[in-house]
Chain A
Amino acid sequence: MKLTRRLTLAAFAATLALGTAMPAFAADLIAIITPSHDNPFFKAEAVGAEAKAKELGYEALVLVHDDDANKQSQLIDTAIGRGAKAIILDNAGADASVAAVQKAKDAGIPSFLIDREINASGVAVSQIVSNNYQGAQLGAEEFVKLMGEKGNYVELVGKESDTNAGIRSKGYHDVIDEYPDLKMVAQQSANWSQTEAYSKMETILQANPDIQGVIAGNDTMAMGAIAALQAAGKKDVIVVGFDGSNDVRDSIKSGGIKATVLQPAYAQAQMAVQQAHDYITSGKKPAEEKQLMDCVLINADNAGKLETFALAQ
């Protein structure tokens, strides 16, 4: 009770503090909040959402929370303070973000989540997420095939606070563990980070020089892993990622990384803005809050058709 009241007061205070300094806006505002644009996946989301918002006549406020739940909370305050009509959010943690989204809702601002879900329903209007389990199974099936159903491999896992890290790992293992001749010799989190994946991979290689494969929870970690493998002179290790970034596409085309799984990041972000627009203009909610977008396997056969998280038809 006390907490809710203090939060409401804080939000009110933030509104006052910011409201006095800001001019009135001609167009309605949509706030677009994602993790850092250092990862091209999040950048594609922000660009896709912003383009759609402008197309529909909104002004866009693009912000990044750097996977920091406290910063995210402040950014939500900013969005509330600036009178945003809706928030498009790729959140900073399945549990930690529930209160932030609730805070926006209490202030009368609907949130439309993309990419990552939160562990609560009825707080956001939409949660549009990639079908990470389906995608991970596609990636794992390709990995198993490339490995010839046998060999030693390493798994690089994403950030623990993100449900997507756990679900992709589960999808990988639900497929790979069916093959007793595939042995996981190391499993470590590299927190979605390319530099961290590089250094983790270097260390793992010292302890386990005999590996034939690396399966990574996202593309930036796959990029870090392949760089470390190439630096160690291991050119034949099979690396599979997840996201469908242009970096990995180029690596696939030049014979480095073998496969990834495309998440339709750009389309997902645009869909969220469209749903926000429908909600703002007519109060219409989507038929289901949680919406899954299927992923597509990318390998040498179709890598040429991939551009900025979208596949040409």
Chain B
Amino acid sequence: MHIRAVAMILLAAAFALPGCKFVKTADQARNAAANAFDPDKAVADIWDSKVVPYLETRGAPIKDVLALAAIDVDGAGQKYGYKAKQGNAPWTFIAKVDGVVVAEETKSRAAYVDVDVDGDAKADVRVSIGPAIRGTALRDSLDFIDFNSFKNQIEWAQFGKSFNTRVNDTLLSKLPRENLTGKKVQALGAYPLPASGQLPQLVPATITIGG
């Protein structure tokens, strides 16, 4: 009886807790921290020192990547790509493209060039040239970046988007936009494992079109 009475009193005390106040303060602190996160700066801070060197070190000719991925996706992923340890994200591959534009789509905001790398005049890879860039392939290719070190999906997404913004502002917005077919392309970038039968869609970190 005695224990029960004490329990009742404690339960009553628990319901009377000023819980809202406690949470609210925490909310404010977190909101302040969220406002402090600057994804553009976070990308700028690592772009030249870590991102580009990493892609240059790991990027193989896309012919090799595609050939191995066609017979052994996981083997190709381990050799030429990256994916998070948990979850079900597909491999993101890192590759170098050196070829000729065989088709172009520049009317859509999500513009691209289709590139032949093996001389058969057929497209082997679709390279995004912006301004709209789909996905977060550049972020997802980096083995030194982890979702777990971000506060939540929102910051993780902002960070991913900032890679695309940077590439677009510093690189893609300066590319020629007309009569690209027949021109030579050299690019280094990343693409997620494409659906079967579809071209890989590479987001470039470096690119030149011309000649």
Contact = CB atoms under 8 A, between A and B. Distances in A.
Contacts of A36: none
Interface of A: 3, 6-7, 9-10, 12-14, 16-17, 20, 69-70, 73, 94-96, 98-99, 117, 119, 121, 128-129, 131-134, 137, 141, 149, 163-164, 166-167, 170-171, 174-175, 178-179, 264, 286-294
B11 A17 contact: yes
B146 A95 contact: no
Interface stretch (B49-57, B74-82, B128-136, B182-190): B128-136
B174 interface: no
B136 to A, nearest CB: 7
Summarize A's interface: helix, strand, loop or mixed: helix
Interface string B131-145: 110111000000000
B17 interface: yes
A9 B8 CA distance: 11
Given A137-B134, A288-B85, 13 more contacts: A13-B10, A14-B11, A70-B19, A73-B19, A99-B22, A121-B148, A131-B89, A174-B157, A174-B161, A288-B84, A288-B87, A288-B147, A291-B87
17 contacts: A10-B10, A10-B13, A10-B17, A13-B7, A16-B4, A73-B19, A95-B30, A117-B152, A133-B153, A141-B134, A163-B153, A164-B153, A288-B148, A291-B84, A292-B147, A293-B87, A293-B88
Contacts of B13: 6, 9-10
Q: Which of A12, A166, A292 has the most CB of B within 10 A?
A: A292
A174 B162 CA distance: 11
Contacts of A12: 10
A110 B146 CA distance: 23
A132 to B, nearest CB: 6
Contact of B109 (A13, A164, A170, A179): A179
A292 B14 contact: no
Nearest to A95: B27
Nearest to B21: A3
B108 interface: yes
